[in-house]
């Protein structure tokens, strides 16, 4: 019983840290998902439960960027449907995966998401440089984004499929894709990313709930923890050393992937 309480406490702590990490540097899924696996939750259910647990923090992030989002209405109109359809497709793929199949993929997914997360700073520097070259000014210059084409819808659908299936690192992929597709305002890109992620995660959660994959007792407890972690971390985000936070999450992610490789 003491061991069970300790494991549950560990999951709650992971959710608080996950919410805090998302406020400061991202990567909360890399903390929450392995914690649920360690608790003995089946891999598919752990993924679904993690998505529910971190969704309230995504809502807070989206609301924080709602002003910037107003300048991307043309992009929103084009990308909403692909995001919803991709989220449904990704969640459907997860619901059709056996726990054994998903568990075989999990170490690779966690490792890939961790490496992508660790490359985020370098990718961000490259993206800012590209945006400055495109605008001949600061990357956050106040300019309207170009109208999106069919290619943007296809790319967003594929990202949303991944987001509905697993999701860790989907935000980083979206930011890179937006830059390559022509968006040049970093604030607009973040607002659009947060809004679209909220959409494909929402439809994924609906499918997970219908399929009975979510462990709601853990999901609600962890959602409260992640919301609290995100709320209080947001107050100190400006003073936090993001490099240190990123490195710590990276260490946890790599250690988790090694453990998942060994224990599968």
Question: Residue-wise pLDDT tens for the chain (264 aa)?
Answer: 444 777 788 888 888 888 877 766 667 888 899 899 988 899 999 999 999 999 988 887 777 778 878 878 889 999 999 999 999 999 999 999 998 889 889 889 888 888 887 887 777 677 667 666 665 555 444 555 677 888 899 999 999 999 999 988 888 888 878 877 877 777 788 889 889 999 999 999 999 999 999 999 999 999 999 888 877 776 665 566 767 767 777 888 888 888 888 877
Question: What's this model's pTM, rounded to 2 decimal places?
Answer: 0.81
- 128: Cβ–Cβ under 8 A, 6 or more apart, which residues? 139, 186
Q: What angle do CA 89, 31, 213 make, to 5 degrees?
A: 40
Per-residue pLDDT tens for 216-261? 999 999 999 988 887 777 666 556 676 776 777 788 888 888 888 8
Domain assignment of residue 91, given as a range: 2-263
Count: domains in the chain: 1
The predicted structure's pLDDT at residue 68: 77
Q: Do the Cβ atoms of 47 and 30 come closer than 8 Å?
A: no
**3-state SS record for the chain:** CHHHHHHHHHHHHHHHHHHHHHHHCCCCHHHHHHHHHHCCCCHHHHHHHHHHHHHHHHHHHHHHCHHHHHHHHHHHHHHHHHHHHHHHHHHHHHHCCCHHHHHHHHHHHHHHHHHHHHCHHHHHHHHHHHHHHHHCCCCCCCCCCCCCCHHHHHHHHHHHHHHHHCCCCHHHHHHHHHHHHCCCCHHHHHHHHHHHHHHHHHHHHHHHHHHCCCCHHHHHHHHHHHHHHHHHHHHHCCCCCHHHHHHHHHHHHHHHHHHHHHHC
């Amino acid at each position: 019983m003491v061991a069970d309480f300790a494991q549950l406490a560990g999951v709650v702590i992971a959710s608080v840290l996950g919410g805090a990490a998302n406020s400061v540097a991202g990567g909360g899924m890399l903390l929450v998902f392995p914690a649920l696996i360690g608790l003995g939750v089946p891999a598919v259910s752990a993924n679904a439960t993690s998505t529910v647990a971190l969704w309230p923090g995504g809502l807070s992030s989206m609301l924080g960027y709602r002003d910037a989002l107003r300048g991307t209405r043309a992009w929103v109109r084009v990308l909403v449907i692909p995001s919803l359809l991709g989220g449904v497709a990704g969640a459907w793929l997860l619901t059709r995966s056996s726990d054994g199949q998903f568990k075989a993929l999990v170490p690779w997914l966690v490792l890939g998401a961790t490496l992508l997360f660790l490359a985020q700073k370098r990718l961000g520097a490259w993206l800012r440089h590209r945006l400055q070259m495109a605008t001949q000014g600061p990357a956050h210059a106040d300019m309207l984004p170009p109208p999106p084409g069919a290619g943007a819808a296809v790319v967003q659908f594929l990202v949303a499929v991944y987001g509905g299936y697993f999701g860790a690192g989907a935000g980083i992929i979206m930011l890179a894709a937006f830059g390559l597709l022509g968006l040049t305002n970093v604030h607009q890109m973040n607002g659009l990313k947060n809004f679209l992620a909220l959409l494909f995660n929402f439809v994924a959660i609906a499918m997970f709930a219908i399929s009975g994959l979510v462990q709601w007792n853990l999901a609600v407890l962890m959602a409260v923890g992640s919301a609290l972690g995100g709320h209080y971390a947001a107050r100190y985000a400006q003073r936090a050393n993001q490099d240190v936070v990123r490195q710590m999450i990276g260490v946890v992610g790599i250690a988790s992937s090694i453990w998942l490789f060994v224990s599968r």
